[in-house]
Copies of this chain bind each other. A is one copy, B any other.
């Protein structure tokens, strides 16, 4: 199996970077070679197979390789796409905080937990101090699965109250975010690792954001999709779904994926721009904390996906992110700073002419401002003290 082999298979399978194949029922979360797993190409969806009476991402059930009888749904997906005039251009804002735990991660977690429930999984493990942990905790509760969430010791109690509320076991681990991940990988020897960064079925849920964009544009692809990247799952979800739609002849072209990252965490953008990682300064904290992933497991695939789309990536400054939060709020939309990295990227790609005046552009806003009240306050306090 090479990534160039794009024919959909009747029976989907998993494969790693070395080309090793595994059955989809294999409980593994990475390949024998230690690399992330991907699902073999699927056929995607056609308009007539959409269950239009279903007000969740499960309207695309036909394109989700999970047995519907194990489906664990809390109403995720089917988020609105709000058109605004932005710098004289018509831009569509896809509001992903319209989700059960108020971030885009619910799409992936719903499909991943449904898959795991279908495998008879009773306990899952996740490492996250933010949106991922809350989402895995919520869906595990809905599925009757015991969740264990490993979080950095420094995490404030306020950030994990939702995970605890859903009955998850919280384990505090000292050290960096990377040491927390290492501990999770160690424990994955005996508990199923339901990692939003690693599990291949997570992306099968994330991809539905692209189906929705396509459906809401009257079954057409936009010219551009603007995204923030931490681990890059929205890049990969779009790559999978628009790839399926293209292969099936449902769209004419892939939309360009235009990606923003905080300047000190530009793991994917630097590679796209052929910058040596050393040209970046050390990993200092960013207000876009959801995008501060030092070592995204799927970074090479994300870089390939951006290039395949004819897209681009940019590293944006903290000041540009703060300005983006303020600018978006002045239009009535209250998105967390992480999401607003996409707004900073939008402004950048309009200013440099990448986004043309007559193009159709969609910006994905991944999470809610109200979930990051302290960070939002810091942006606006700064404003009032000027």
Question: A residues engaging B (CB < 8 A)?
Answer: 52-53, 55-56, 73-76, 78-82, 95, 97-102, 134, 138-143, 157-158, 161-162, 164-167, 216, 218, 325-326, 329-334, 368-371, 373-374, 376-377, 379-380, 384
9 contacts between A and B (CB under 8 A): A53-B216, A78-B78, A78-B80, A102-B368, A138-B333, A142-B333, A161-B376, A162-B370, A164-B380
Does B82 lie within 8 Å of A95, measured CB to CB? no
A117 to chain B, nearest CB (A): 12
Residues of B contacting A157 in the complex (Cβ-Cβ under 8 angstroms): 377
In the complex, which residues of chain B have a beta carbon less than 8 angstroms from the beta carbon of A333? Answer: 74, 100, 138, 142
Contact yes or no, A376 B100, CB < 8 A: no
Assembled-state Cα–Cα distance A201/B384 (Å)? 33
- Tell me the bound Cα distance from A55 to B332 in angstroms: 18
Residues of B near A379 (CB, < 8 A) are 165
B81 touches A166 (CB 8 A): no
A56 to B373, CA, bound (A): 26
Q: Once bound together, how far apart are the Cα atoms of A169 and B214, in whole Å?
A: 39
8 interchain residue pairs of minimum CB distance: A75-B80, A142-B332, A165-B329, A141-B332, A98-B98, A138-B332, A161-B377, A75-B82
- Do A164 and B74 touch across chains, with their CB atoms under 8 A apart? no
- How far apart sit A218 and B380, CA to CA, in the bound complex (Å)? 45
**With A369-B162, A370-B368 given, is the CB distance from A334 to B377 under 8 Å?**
no
Known: A56-B80, A101-B370. 7 other contacts (CB 8 A): A53-B216, A95-B100, A134-B334, A142-B333, A158-B377, A164-B384, A165-B376
Minimal Cβ-Cβ distance residue in B for A328: B165
On whether the beta carbons of B369 and A165 are closer than 8 Å, the reply is yes
- By the criterion CB–CB under 8 Å, are B100 and A81 in contact? no
Which residues of the partner chain B approach A330 to less than 8 Å between Cβ atoms? 141, 166-167
Q: Are B334 and A166 in contact (CB under 8 A)?
A: yes
CA distance A78 to B82 in the complex (A): 13
State whether B82 touches A73 (Cβ < 8 A): yes
Q: Which of B134, B218, B332 contacts A100 (CB 8 A)?
A: B332
Chain B residues near A332: list those with CB within 8 A: 74, 100, 138-143, 166
Chain B residues positioned under 8 Å from A167 (CB to CB): 329-330
Instruction: Report yes or no: B78 in contact with A141, Cβ–Cβ below 8 A.
Output: no
Q: Which residues of B contact A55 (CB under 8 A)?
A: 78-81, 216
CB distance from A54 to the nearest CB of B (A): 9
Contacts of A142 in B (CB 8 A): 331-333
A331 touches B369 (CB 8 A): no
Q: How distant is A372 from chain B, measured CB to nearest CB, in Å?
A: 10
Per the bound structure, the CA–CA distance linking A325 and B31 in Å amounts to: 41
Which of A100, A162, A370 has the largest count of B CB atoms less than 10 A from its CB? Answer: A370
Q: What is the minimal beta-carbon distance from A42 to any residue of chain B, in angstroms?
A: 25
- In the docked arrangement, what's the CA distance between A326 and B167, Å? 9
Contacts of A140 in B (CB 8 A): 332
Closest to A374 in B: B158
Pairwise interchain contact A329-B370, C-beta atoms closer than 8 A: no
Chain B residues with CB under 8 Å of A380's CB are 161, 164-165
Question: Which B residues touch A165, using CB under 8 A?
Answer: 325-326, 329, 334, 369, 376, 379-380
